[in-house]
Each structure stands twice: as structure tokens, then as C-alpha cells.
Amino acid sequence: MELSIKWRFIVGIDISKDHVDCYLLDRKTSRGWDLKITNSYDGFDKLGHWLVEHNAAKSQSILVSEHTGRYGEHLLRWTTDNDWPHAVVKTTALDKVTPEHHRKDDPYDAAELADYGVRFSDRLRPTEAPAPAVGQIKRLQAERRKMVDRRAALKSKLTEADTHDADMCQLTAMWAQQIELLSEHIEQLEQAMDQLIGQDESLKARHQTMRTAPGYGPVIGRFWLSLFAGQKKLDPRKISSRFGFAPHAYRSGSSVKSPDRSTGFGNSEMRKLLHLAARSVANHRPHYREYYEQKLAEGKHELLAINNIINKLIRLYCTMWNNKAEYDPNYIQKNKHKWKKSA
């Protein structure tokens, strides 16, 4: 009887800083083999030859690894460039298959990731490394965020310097110099990101289109591109939930009852940027200002009204992204008569 499975070979990959442990499982014969390689392109080439030696064809194989941040970036780049299907799963994947035990070593985790791939093979989705320009923008964006936070902390120290009884002249002069240097570096990073966007035609076209949207400034623009570049369709519901703005039920049985509410989790930087964007359009855009005032008149809390505006902006951004269309400020006015007829 022919075994009908999508992925015959599952390769569990446990990634550390210096080494990568691999476990190749043949689902047809239930045989397994392990391999330890260096976390380098020489090691990845050795992995490719090893898979070929065991007749693991690319069309029948998938690599499964947990998301390990920068330690897994080179492997993902190699698998993408060499057309090896590679699913990067959440760091909680092992919790679903690992029984209670006190064992913790990399070869064992690699075998458990292969087991995860077998049990949840229908959920595995190959992951591709971002385009080089997008990966660089993502790295520069992360460094910019750290510098902005550092500069804000120094500015706070300067503000509070007068409250100290000691002589703070030397320290305040140092802080001022650091703030000036950080501001220069932040500006250089922003220029580098803009240059990367300008050199890539697809990124440039996306960026120019999205910049016409209300509240979509240069900082949100760079960050949005670093997160979603390469994706053709964006789901506003999933993105709202991902950033913690979507209302979720909080009920259980008869004792736990609460109104639906947003989680408040998600990427902290994007949450902050979208909050500022919503504040801006509520103050300067008539349509959003009317909506904001309407929600306040209904008795909604101010933050809830802002959260509603954020969700409206996310829907707008996703629609523009999916349709590759610029923002039309007269869209609502022009279509009012259509909506009245359909009501």
C-alpha cells in the first residue's frame, strides 16, 4: 500500500549559537538519523549533502525549527536560496509533544521537533527569508528603536538633574553630548533605511502608495515595510489581533463574565506608533475627528475611541496594501449614495 503523505521526510532542527543539531525522520520506514553541524554555510552545505545521501528529495522533505531570532537567520537564508522547504514554528512547539522529563539536550530536542512535524504536518507552512533589503531594514529599525529609547532615558535624566542636591554640571554635559550623538546616529539610520527602500523598486512603489494614507508617517512606513514586505495580502483582523488591538471575549462558565476587550499585548513599538497615528488623525482629519467625538458622545472611554480609530486605520492600510491603491480622501463622500441605496 502506497503511503499517502505530503512530507515523507521530516527534519527536526535545533539551533544554537555555534551548532545545529538535526534529526532526519523517514515517515515511510520510521527510521531516523542524526547529524551535528556548525551554524555556518559550510555546515549547511554538509546538511544538504547528508539529506541527499539519505534520498530525502526537496519535494518530499521539510525542515522544522523553532524561531530562535538571529541564530536561525543564516539557516533560513540558506534553505530559501537552495529551495529546501523550511517551517519556522513558535517557540512553544516542543511543549505540545515533549512528555514530562528532566532531559534537556539539543539532539533530543531535534528529534522532538521532528515528532512535532509528524503530528502537525498539516499545519506546517514553509517560511522564506525576507529579501536582503527587507532584512537590513528590519535590523536597522530594531537598532533605531534601541537608540530612541536610550535617548529618551537620557532626556529624562536631564529633566530631573535640577532635583539633585549634588553638582550635576559634568554629568549633564555628558548626557547632552550623548543625546546629540544619538540623534545624529538615528538620523543616519533613517537615511540608510530610506536609501534601501529607494533602491528596491517594489519597496519604493509600496512605500510611495502607503505614504498617502492618513497617519502613515515615515516611521510607521519603514516599520510596516519591515514587517509585511513580500506579502501580497494582509488580513486586518489578524493584524489587529497580532498587535493587541482586536477585542477578544473574556468569559468562562457562569462566573467569569467580562465585556470583549483588546489584549494589550503585541509589538510594543507598533502599538505606540499606531496610538500616536490615531491621536494625530483624531485631531487633524475631519472624518476621524467626527468619529472620535461620536464615540465620546456615546459614552465610550477615550482610550476605547482611540482603539477603534486604530482598528479603522489598520483596515485602511490593509485595503490599500491589498489593492495597491493610493488613499482617496473623497472616497466616503463619493460612495455615500451607494450605501444609502443598499441600506
For 245, residues 6+ apart whose C-beta sits below 8 A from its C-beta are 262, 266, 271, 274, 307, 310, 311, 314
Q: In terms of domains, do 270 and 164 share one?
A: no
Total tally of structural domains belonging to the chain: 3
Residue where one domain finishes, among candidates 199, 228, 251: 199
Q: Residue 2: what pLDDT?
A: 45
Q: Per the domain annotation, does 46 fall within a domain?
A: yes
Residue where one domain finishes, among candidates 145, 173, 199: 199
pLDDT at 262 over 60: no
Domain coverage including residue 96: 9-123
In this prediction, residue 264 has a pLDDT band, given cuts at 50, 70 and 90, of: low
Q: In terms of domains, do 14 and 86 share one?
A: yes
Q: In terms of domains, do 108 and 175 share one?
A: no
Q: Which of 116, 42, 50, 117 lies closest to 74, judged by CA?
A: 42
Strands 247-252 and 86-89: unpaired
Mean pLDDT (whole number) for 50-69:
93
Q: Answer whether 163's CB lies under 8 Å from 157's CB.
A: no
Q: In terms of domains, do 119 and 176 share one?
A: no
Q: Per the domain annotation, does 222 fall within a domain?
A: no
Q: What is the pLDDT of residues 100-110, one digit of tens each?
A: 555 567 788 89
Q: What is the pLDDT of residues 179-212, one digit of tens each?
A: 999 999 999 999 999 999 999 999 999 999 999 9
Q: Per the domain annotation, does 3 fall within a domain?
A: no
Q: Answer whether 107's CB lies under 8 Å from 24's CB.
A: no
Q: Per the domain annotation, does 44 fall within a domain?
A: yes
pLDDT at 99 over 90: no
Residue type, 186: I
Q: In terms of domains, do 75 and 14 share one?
A: yes
DSSP state of 64: E
CATH of residue 83: 3.30.420.40
Q: Per the domain annotation, does 205 fall within a domain?
A: no
Q: Residue 265: what pLDDT?
A: 65
Q: What is the pLDDT of residues 114-125, one digit of tens each?
A: 999 999 888 899
Look at the block and give the residue holding cell 532615558: 153
Q: Answer whether 274's CB lies under 8 Å from 247's CB.
A: no
Cell representation of residue 227: 514587517
Measured between alpha carbons, how far is 226 from 136 in angstroms, rounded to an integer? 9
Q: In terms of domains, do 299 and 325 share one?
A: yes
Q: In terms of domains, do 249 and 299 share one?
A: yes
Mean pLDDT (whole number) for 241-248:
81
Mean pLDDT (whole number) for 36-65:
95
Q: Residue 24: what pLDDT?
A: 96
Q: Residue 339: what pLDDT?
A: 47
Residue where one domain finishes, among candidates 123, 143, 171: 123
Q: Per the domain annotation, does 219 fall within a domain?
A: no
Mean pLDDT (whole number) for 41-52:
96
Bridge partners (DSSP) listed for residue 12: 23, 64
Mean pLDDT (whole number) for 321-327:
93
Cell representation of residue 274: 499606531
Least confident of 70-74, 190-194, 256-260, 263-267: 256-260
Q: In terms of domains, do 189 and 240 share one?
A: no
Ramachandran angles phi, psi of 31, nearest 5°: -90, 150
Q: Residue 337: what pLDDT?
A: 59
